[in-house]
Amino acid sequence: MATTITERKTLWNDVWDRVLDKMRDSINDKAIYDSFFADTSIYNIDGNHMTIMVSTDFARSIIEKNYRADLLNTVTEVTETNFILEFISKQEASIQAVPQVESKPKNSFFENSEINPNYTFDNFVVGPSNIEAKQAALMIASNPGKFYNPLFIYSNSGLGKTHLLHAIGNYIKVRNPRLNVLYITTDNFVDEYIKFVKGDRESDGLKDFFRTVDVLLVDDIQFLANKDKTQEMFFYAFQTLINSNKQIVLTSDRQPLDLNGLEERLVTRFSSGLLSKIEQPDTPTSIAILKKKIEANGLEISRFDDAALEFLAQNFGNNVRELEGALNRLVFYTINIKQSSHIDLALAQESVPTSHKSKEKKLNESKIISVVADYYNLTPSQLTGKIRTSEISMARHIAIYLCREILDMPFTKIGQTFGGKDHSTVMSAVKKVEKELKTSEQLKTVIKELKNRLK
C-alpha cells in the first residue's frame, strides 16, 4: 500500500535526525552546527535524488563548499543508499510552493528580464540617508502611475538603488499581479535595441511591446549617454508609458541635469517627476544593515560584539556592497581560518584589516582625473590633453582644483600632470573654480559629489 505524504514526511524526519546526530559529532563545533545544520531537513526524495532544505543561500554555499563530502558519507551510512544530494533554501522552497499566476505569453523582447525576489521593502534597511527614497518608492509601488512619474533615484554605486527597484517590482507583483512589470538595466535596453536593428524588423515591433508594459523599472540610465539612436527609441517608450499613465522608475549615479550626453528632452522629462537622492549611510544605519545581513545568513547576532560591528560600519560603510563584502570575509575567516564561536573587535580587525582597505582606496592625481572624467562622461586623456571645448575646459579646471585642494600638489607638478601646462595656467584654473564656488550652488553640489566619490 502506498504511503501517505504525512507518513513519508515522518520517515524522512526520522532519517534526517539520525544524519544530524552523526554530523553533530563529526563537526564537533556547536556554533557551526547551530548556524548551518540545525535548521536543515529533507525537502524531497525522488529516486536516488535527495533534496535538502537549508535556511539560506549562504548556508547552502558553506555546506556545499566545506561539508558536502562528509554529509554525503553520513547519508549513505544512515540510509545504505547512494543518494545524489541537492540543496534548496527555504526562500526558494516557499516560492515554489506558491501557486503561480497564469503568465502572459512570452514576448520576444527582454526575455531574460527578471525581478529578484530577494530584494523587498521588508529587508531594505532604512536610515536618515535613504528614508526619503524608500518612502517615495513605497508610495509609487502602492499606487503605480498615480503620483510622481517618473521617480528618479540617484546615488553613488552600492547604496541601494537596485534594491529599491526590485522591491517596487516585488511589491506590485504580489498586490496587483495583473500588471506587467518590466525590470531592465540600461545595458539590457541598448542590447535589445541593437538586436532589433540588426534583425531588420519593423520598428513597430519594439514600440508595440512597450504599450503592453504597465510599470517600467530601469537601472543605471546614465549609460544611455551618447547613444543617439537608442535615445530616440527610449524617448518613444518613455512618452508612450507616461501618456498612458503607466509608471516609470529610473536610477542613476547622478541627477538628470548632470547627465551629459543625453538629449535635452530626455533630461527635461527625467526631471519632471520626483528626484530622490540616497546618501552614504551613517554608522548606525550601517550597523543595522550588518545585523540584517547576519540574520539573513542564518547566524546569531549574539555571536558578534557591538565593537566588531561598529568597526566594520566605520571602515567599510561607504556603500552596502563593500559592507557586505567585509562581513562575508569576516564570517569566512572565522569558519575556515581561525575558528571561533564568538567574534570580537580583535578578530574583526584581524580578518579585514583597514590597511588593506586603505591600500585599495589610496588617492592620487590619477584617481582624481579618472573620477572627474567619469562624472562628465569624458576620458582621462581628454582632461589631460589640449582640447579646449567649454565642457572639457570646465571639467579640467575642476580636476586641477581638486588636485590642489585635496592632495595639496605643487602647481608645477599639477601642470606636468595636465599635459605640461605652466605654473600660471594652473594657478589661474584653481582661482577660477574658487571664485565661482562663492556664487554657484550648482558648482558647490558638483564638488561635493566628486569629493564623496573620492572618499
**C-alpha cell of 223?**
549609460
**Peptide bond connecting 150 to the previous residue in cis, omega within 30 degrees of 0:** yes
- Note the pLDDT of residue 52: 92
CA distance 88 to 106: 27
- Note the pLDDT of residue 299: 82
CA distance 165 to 183: 8
Whether 277 contacts 155, CB under 8 Å: yes
Instruction: Calculate the CA 259 to chain-centre distance.
Output: 21
Whether 233 contacts 193, CB under 8 Å: yes
DSSP characters over 64-131: HHHTHHHHHHHHHHHH-S-PEEEEEEHHHHHHHHSPPPPPPPPPSSSTT----TT--STT----TTTH
Instruction: Calculate the CA 159 to chain-centre distance.
Output: 7
**Residue 4, Cβ density class (10 Å: 0-12 exposed, 13-18 middle, ≥19 buried):** exposed
- What's the pTM value of the predicted model, to 2 decimals? 0.57
- Note the pLDDT of residue 71: 92
**Short-list 98, 89, 2, 81, CA closest to 45:** 81
**Residue 146, Cβ density class (10 Å: 0-12 exposed, 13-18 middle, ≥19 buried):** exposed
Q: For residue 135, which phi and psi values (nearest 5 degrees)?
A: -65, -40
Local structure of residue 281 (DSSP, 8 states): P
**C-alpha cell of 17?**
535526525
Residue 333: Cβ within 10 Å count: 18
**C-alpha cell of 38?**
540545525
Q: For residue 409, which phi and psi values (nearest 5 degrees)?
A: -70, 145
Q: How many CA atoms lie within 13 A of 437 on its CB side?
A: 16
- Note the pLDDT of residue 97: 55
- Note the pLDDT of residue 1: 37
Q: Strands 49-54, 41-46: parallel, antiparallel or unpaired by DSSP?
A: antiparallel
Mean pLDDT by 10 residues, the chain (455 residues): 59 86 87 85 84 86 86 88 85 61 53 84 88 91 88 90 93 86 90 73 68 93 89 92 94 89 92 90 89 83 88 84 86 80 85 54 80 84 81 90 88 86 88 90 90 85
Q: Strands 49-54, 215-219: parallel, antiparallel or unpaired by DSSP?
A: unpaired
Instruction: Kindly list the distances between the CA atom of residue 442 and the CA atoms of 225, 270, 351, 414, 449, in Å, as whole numbers in the listed order.
Output: 21, 18, 42, 25, 11
- Note the pLDDT of residue 422: 84
- Note the pLDDT of residue 2: 41
H-type helices in 217-257, by residue range? 228-243
